Amino acid sequence: MKVGLVYYGGQYNHLILKNVKYLGADIEVTPPHKPVEELKKFDCVIFSGGPYSVSEEIQKMGNSPLYIKELKVPMLGICLGHQLIAYVLGGVVRRALNPEYGLTRINIFDEDTILKGFSQQLNVWESHNDEVVEPPSGFRVLASSANARVQAMANSSNSIFGVQFHPEVKHTERGIEIFKNFLGVCRK
C-alpha cells in the first residue's frame, strides 16, 4: 500500500511519516503543487497540518483543492488538512473564537471508522487558530471539544476524514490507532 502525504510545512510532519511507516505502509511526501495525475498512484492521501489560514491563503495550497475533488481514494486531513477538506467541499472554516494549543479533552459521540473502539473522551494535542464550524454536506461530526464543535468528521461513505487535533503527537492518546484505523480503510 502506498500513502501520499501532502506537506504544508507543518511542524509535526516527520511524526506522521514515522507513525505510518511504523504501521507498515509505504509513505511518500509530496508538495501541494504537483499535478493531480501524479497523486493517482497513491492508495490513500493524508493532508498535513501547516501554518496557513485556509480561508485567507487558499492560493498557498497549490493543487490541493483538485486533489480533494478529483481523487477517489480515502483521505485524512490533520489540522490544516482537516480545515482544507471542509473548505473545499463546502463546509465553513473561520478564525477560532478560542484557539486551542496544547492538551485538550475531546468528546467522542460517533466512533465511526477512525475512532473505532475509543472511549467517550480523549486527550489530544491541539495547535490551531482556525477551525471548521460547519462540516461539508454529507459529513457528520464525530467529536467535539469545549471550544471547537468539529474536532473530527467523516463523510457518509467513511472514506474522507478530518481531525482538528494532531494524532501524530505522542501527547494525543491512542493517536497511532487513528492512523491504524485509517490505513485499514485504505487497504479495503
Q: Which residue out of 44, 79, 126, 173 is catalytically annotated?
A: 79
Residue identified by cell 490513500 is 44
Q: CB neighbours (10 Å) of residue 125?
A: 21
Active site residue 166: yes
Q: Which residue out of 126, 131, 168, 173 is catalytically annotated?
A: 168
Q: Which residue out of 100, 128, 166, 186 is catalytically annotated?
A: 166
Residue identified by cell 461513505 is 157
| DSSP codes of every residue in 119-146 | -SEEEEEEEEEEEEEEPPTTEEEEEEES
**Residues in Cβ contact with 188 at an 8 Å cutoff, skipping those fewer than 6 apart:** none
DSSP H helices in 23-130: 36-39, 54-57, 64-70, 80-88
Active site residue 168: yes
Catalytic residue annotation: 79, 166, 168
